[in-house]
Amino acid sequence: MNDLILEGGLVLTPDGPVTADVFVRDGIVAGLGESLGSDEATVLDCRGAWVGPGFVDVHTHLREPGEEWKEDIGSGSEAAAAGGYTAVLAMPNTDPPIDAGHLARYVADRGSEVGLVTVIPAGCVTAGRAGERLSHLDELWMAGVRVFTDDGDSVADAGLLRRAMDYLAQLGGIVAQHAIDAGLARGGHMHEGDVSSRLGMAAIPAEAESTVVARDLALVRLTGCRYHIQHVSASQTVALIAAAKAEGLPVTAEVTPHHLAFDHRVVESTDPVFKMMPPLRSPEDREALVVALRDGVIDMVATDHAPHADHEKDVPFEHAPHGVIGLEWAGAVVNTQVGLEPVAFYERLSIAPAALLGASGQGRWIEPGAPATMTVFDPEADALDHARSRSRNTPHLGRGLRGRARHTLLQGTLTHSATIVPHPS
Amino acid sequence: MRHLLSMEGVERAVIEGLLDDGDEFLEVLDRPIPKVPTLRGKTVATMFFEPSTRTRLSFEKAAKSLSADTMSFSPGTSSLSKGESLKDTVLTIQAMGVDLMVVRHAATGAPWRVADWVDVPVVNGGDGAHQHPTQALLDALTIRQRFTTLDGVRVGIVGDIRHSRVARSNVWAFAALGAEVTLVAPPTLLPLDATTWPAATTSDLDDVLTELDAVYLLRVQKERGGASVFPSLAEYTARFGMTVERFNRLKPDAVVLHPGPMNRGVEISARVADDPRALVLDQVRNGVAVRMAVLYQLLGGERDE
Amino acid sequence: MERADIARALRRIAHEIMERNHGAGDIVLVGIHTRGVPLARRLADAIGEIESVEVPLGSLDIGLYRDDLASRPAPVLGHTAMPVGIDGRTIVLVDDVLFTGRTIRAALDALVDFGRPARVQLAVLVDRGHRELPIRADYVGKNLPTSFKERVTVHLEETDREEGVWIEKRAEVAL
């Protein structure tokens, strides 16, 4: 393996940012300093950019197995690397759903074969995501699953959720909840508010999310299980999270780039690219999410990267499936819309999500001995101008976003470079 | 104007221009030969993905009175049942050679999607509970004929506002023309959030009845009674129906409108429906005229300004 | 032409109409929008002064009968009104300028949708030549030989708040 020198970037070390060169040998950060020039090493220009730990996404739909026309582990890994990601948590709502050990192993193994990002499988809470009985929690645990979710649906049955929490609390697992009450959301396509009222569209109130979270927090108090709230969309949920954290409950939360970037007013176009679950909410909600991410009430950014083929999205809004892709632009959205300092930026995109997953070798500040799993992020560059995913359902193009991954390294291997590796297609 | 999709945000001058043309087309419809050669050689396709006989007939009559050819599409006999996408369906029809499409669809925004896909002007013939702009034009024309202007005219729209594309179109058109609009409905049928609508709201018809110049009754969708949005049809009629008693309390020159089809005895009593101040048939006739105006405007050449 | 010339021409045309039709008995004057309408009214007044009869007056907008809708914006529609049935009557179409003849062709098409007149005659204030169709005027206020590239402008008090006929050079040809 070639030695690498990451030259002249602002390096995020355990002691804070310093401008330095980073010397990488055998997949490990071998040294930090100035003018580490070497004849044999490949030099990566990092001037004007931040050099920090690789991004970790705790919410990615890779669609494999079962829906490979939207995405597969290969194309999804490419999109992830291009966005600066070095690890992703693969959501288990595939076909078949990941509710048993051998399925989880398949996903992880395919990720290793592709080799562009560490693919960590999440497992279902309930068998077949049917919400009726528990999935093979032990078996999944043995296969390395740490996060359990029926994402795409809430675990609605409180008794069942309580049993899952009891079980996982003892193992140390995490329940990640797609918190949307099916009854309140029934038939809805967008946020319930003045825009849905003008469009005459059936809608989903913010309470569809907050009522589930409020109930679940009571069960967290009861069981002590670690609980992660996926794609928080409403300010009233933010308030619940803040209170739970103040109380000391083992709770974390994520927000998506699209909920940081948009509010429901864009849905007036009835363009299906803005259809997602949970829906884009009010401007006040969006503002609350930005503030919560800045303050750390919301711990991390997660993409909810949800690829859909053109023919699935090119239909009337009400007929379109939910979701947008986001791996390629999450860093740019956070950089442009939230404007975090480099340390907080990497905390939300790398440190906190890696800690949630307990992913070894991910989310380490840059220092000698740390794995060379890094993202060099240029906050001034124009964002990536095309999708690397197999699908193209993104609202983030053409909006003047700033920031993109200049280089992505996974254990010393360059998995993406805006300047060196030619475009694969 | 390239398409006519919504009444929201359409400027007063544009609406008035269409109404003025509508007046002229009423004269055409009164001629011994009620037909002009204006759109000879043009083809108008009525693409109704949701059944509606009267609106389609009205558009077809309008097109034919302008000498356009018409093609009609209805889902019952179509390839949609074979799984063809909406996009492929409209592109196929376009490829046969049409100059304008009228689209009705149960999904909000569907005509906007169609307008994205095709190269010809699109008229929204009603989408979901969202918009039905030609209905608003014909209603505005009908009220204008009675009062010469909508400026300062007080219009009450009564009924299932929440699920009504007619209300969502009329409120913008009436307000743009200077009318004062009040939405009247039980709380469960008022809009969930009307803060950005150019209208007042109330659940007490009798409170505003005597101030109204025009009462616009929406059709009660009887099946909604079962969905428990109001207790019963009888209660609805008692509180929101245009009974003879309420009709007699209206201002002497006040008029009653209804988009049809009427439920006589529910939202409107049969005797009110047959009264000369019920303008239901004027609305139907004006519907042909304003649709002629819309086709005429959209199929004229591009404006340079 | 100035105000007095226009008035004189119209008086003469009024006399010619009466003479050719042996009085005003069957006549309906139909003005073509825009400036044919006030001209028709003035002719009706002139005839009324001569014979103290009230000649029925109609107006015709030929926008809906044009043959060039696709190539230009839909024109604003003027008002069309036929005060009486036209079956068996003598219709005198009135317009300001006779040029290519296409407007008159459209007006004839429009007219037959209202019925079957006994005969149709044409009165114009100005005939500037350059016909593209086999149409001629029965009554002409003034023959104005023009080049195709010139523009003839008629302004009337009722529509333009000034009165006169001008010939202007113009760069490009537009109907």
Please report, for the domain that includes residue A44, its CATH number. Answer: 2.30.40.10
State whether A44 and A140 are in the same domain.
no
Of B128, B165, B196, which has the smallest distance from its Cβ to A194's Cβ? Answer: B196
At residue A384, the pLDDT reads 96
At residue B305, the pLDDT reads 37
pTM assigned to the model: 0.89
Structural domain including A407 reads 4-50+368-417
Chains with 3 or more CB pairs under 8 A to chain C: B
| Interchain contact B107–A (C-beta under 8 A) | yes
State whether A127 and A34 are in the same domain.
no
Question: Is C64 in Cβ contact with B299 (below 8 Å)?
Answer: no
DSSP B231: S
For A283-315, how does the pLDDT look when each residue is reduced to its tens digit (9 = 90+)?
Answer: 999 999 999 999 999 999 999 999 999 999 999
Q: What are the sequence ranges of the domains in chain B? A: 12-131+284-299, 133-280
For C158-173, how does the pLDDT look when each residue is reduced to its tens digit (9 = 90+)?
Answer: 999 999 999 887 654 4
Name chain A contacts of B162, Cβ cutoff 8 Å.
200
At residue A53, the pLDDT reads 98
Residue A423 has pLDDT above 80, yes or no: no
Name chain C contacts of B27, Cβ cutoff 8 Å.
79-81
B105 is catalytic: no
Question: Taking a C-beta distance cutoff of 8 angstroms, is the pair A148, A155 a contact?
Answer: no
Residue A336 has pLDDT above 50, yes or no: yes
Number of helices (H), then strands (E), belonging to chain C: the values are 4, 7
Residue among A179, A156, A177, A159 nearest A167 (CA): A159
State whether A231 and A261 are in the same domain.
yes
Residue A79 has pLDDT above 50, yes or no: yes
Name chain B contacts of C77, Cβ cutoff 8 Å.
20-21, 24-25, 296
- Two tokens at C69? 């809708």
* Domain tally, chain A: 2
Domain boundary among A357, A376, A399: A357
Question: Is B66 in Cβ contact with C78 (below 8 Å)?
Answer: no
State the pLDDT confidence band at C148, using cuts at 50, 70 and 90: confident
Residue among C90, C80, C88 nearest C55 (CA): C90
Chains with 3 or more CB pairs under 8 A to chain A: B
- Two tokens at C111? 């007219």
Q: How far is CA C165 from CA B32, C39, C44, in A?
A: 37, 13, 21
Q: What are the sequence ranges of the domains in chain C? A: 3-69+82-148
Domain boundary among A357, A377, A406: A357
CATH 3.40.50.2020 at C3-69+82-148, yes or no: yes
Residue A112: CB atoms within 10 A of its CB come to 11
State whether A180 and A313 are in the same domain.
yes
Classify domain B133-280 at the CATH superfamily level: Aspartate/ornithine carbamoyltransferase (3.40.50.1370)
The verdict on residue A309 lying in a domain is yes
Tell me the one-letter amino acid at B78.
Answer: S
The one catalytic residue among B2, B54, B249, B271 = B54
Question: Is B8 in Cβ contact with A316 (below 8 Å)?
Answer: no
At residue A191, the pLDDT reads 98
| Interchain contact C50–B (C-beta under 8 A) | no
For the domain that residue A307 is a member of, what is the CATH number?
A: 3.20.20.140
Q: Do domains B12-131+284-299 and B133-280 have the same CATH topology?
A: yes
Q: What is the bridge-based pairing of β-strands A4-13 and A42-45?
A: parallel
Q: How far is CA C12 from CA B263, C56, C126, C165, in A?
A: 64, 19, 13, 17
State whether A224 and A242 are in the same domain.
yes
Q: Which residues of chain B have pLDDT under 70?
A: 77-82, 223-228, 301-305
Question: Is B109 in Cβ contact with A317 (below 8 Å)?
Answer: yes
At residue A422, the pLDDT reads 47
- Computed over every residue of chain C, the mean pLDDT equals 90
State whether A176 and A316 are in the same domain.
yes
DSSP B289: H
- Best of A196, A197, A284 to disrupt the B interface by mutation (most B CBs within 10 Å)? A197
State the pLDDT confidence band at C175, using cuts at 50, 70 and 90: very low
More confident residue, C156 or B223: C156
State whether A246 and A288 are in the same domain.
yes
Q: What is the bridge-based pairing of β-strands A16-25 and A4-13?
A: antiparallel
Residue A425 has pLDDT above 80, yes or no: no
State whether A262 and A276 are in the same domain.
yes
| Interchain contact C66–B (C-beta under 8 A) | yes
B55 is catalytic: yes
State the pLDDT confidence band at A376, using cuts at 50, 70 and 90: very high
At residue B167, the pLDDT reads 98
Q: Is C71 exposed, middle or buried (0-12, 13-18, 19+ CB in 10 A)?
A: exposed
The dotted CATH code for B12-131+284-299 is 3.40.50.1370
Question: Is B35 in Cβ contact with C64 (below 8 Å)?
Answer: no
B264 is catalytic: no
State whether A254 and A322 are in the same domain.
yes
State whether A139 and A155 are in the same domain.
yes
State whether A274 and A379 are in the same domain.
no
Element (H, E) at B249: helix B244-249
Mean pLDDT of A104-122: 98
Name chain C contacts of B64, Cβ cutoff 8 Å.
none
The 3-class secondary structure across chain A, one letter per residue, is CCCEEEEEEEEEECCEEEEEEEEEECCEEEEEECCCCCCCCEEEECCCCEEEECEEEEEECCCCCCCCCCCCHHHHHHHHHHCCEEEEEECCCCCCCCCCHHHHHHHHHHHHHHCCCEEEECECCEHHHCCCCECCHHHHHHCCCCEECCCCCCCCCHHHHHHHHHHHHHHCCEEEECCCCHHHHCCCCEECCHHHHHHCCCEECCHHHHHHHHHHHHHHHHHCCEEEECCCCCHHHHHHHHHHHHHCCCEEEEECHHHHHCCHHHHHHCCHHHCCCCCCCCHHHHHHHHHHHHHCCCCEECCCECCCCHHHHCCCHHHCCCCECCCCCHHHHHHHHHCCCHHHHHHHHHHHHHHHHCCCCCCCCCCCCCECCEEEEEEEEECCCCCCCCCCCCCCCCCCCEEEEEEEEECCEEEEECCCCCCCC
